[in-house]
A = this chain, B = another copy of it.
Amino acid sequence: MIQNFLDIKIKTNGQRLYDFTNQVLDWINQNNFTNGILNLSILHTSASLIVQENADPDVRSDLINFFDNLVPMNKDLYKHSVEGKDDMPAHIKSALTNNQISLSIKNGNLMLGKWQALYLFEHRILSHTRIITCHFIGNV
């Protein structure tokens, strides 16, 4: 068995879902990973990783609206407000979603459903550079 690492950098530009599925698929194909676990971690606590529906863009915008209503950007609600009105809500949204996802690779195929894609879910308003650590453990 082998192990392999890749850092994916994503420059975000506001609260949106950023699809990085193809960057992961390219890495799998270039390295001929056949069977193994792919562990994805985001090294930040104000953005998340999620697997979501990849067809209708309205799904992503409804998702963002839901989280914005659930965790309002209202400084009166939080003690932690020095980093901006969107920072504490970002930490909470991060806790409600995921910092980390483990996916299986089987016969060279990433085990995602037909309607699933991998997204970075940015919770901050301003532009950020986000790093996702990709780690493969398995066979080539």
A: residues with CB less than 8 A from B are 1, 3, 5, 35-37, 39, 41-46, 50-53, 56, 58-59, 61-63, 66, 70-71, 77-80, 82, 88, 91-92, 94-104, 106, 111-116, 131, 133, 135, 137-139
| Chain B nearest CB, measured from A2 CB (Å) | 10
Residues of B within 8 A of A56 (CB): 80, 82
Residues of B within 8 A of A77 (CB): 62, 66
Residues of B within 8 A of A113 (CB): 42-45, 131
- How many of these chains are in the complex? 3
- With the chains together, A39 CA to B102 CA distance in Å? 7
Q: Is the CB of A3 within 8 A of B97?
A: no
Given known contacts A3-B36, A37-B39, A43-B116, A71 and B66 CB-to-CB distance under 8 angstroms = yes
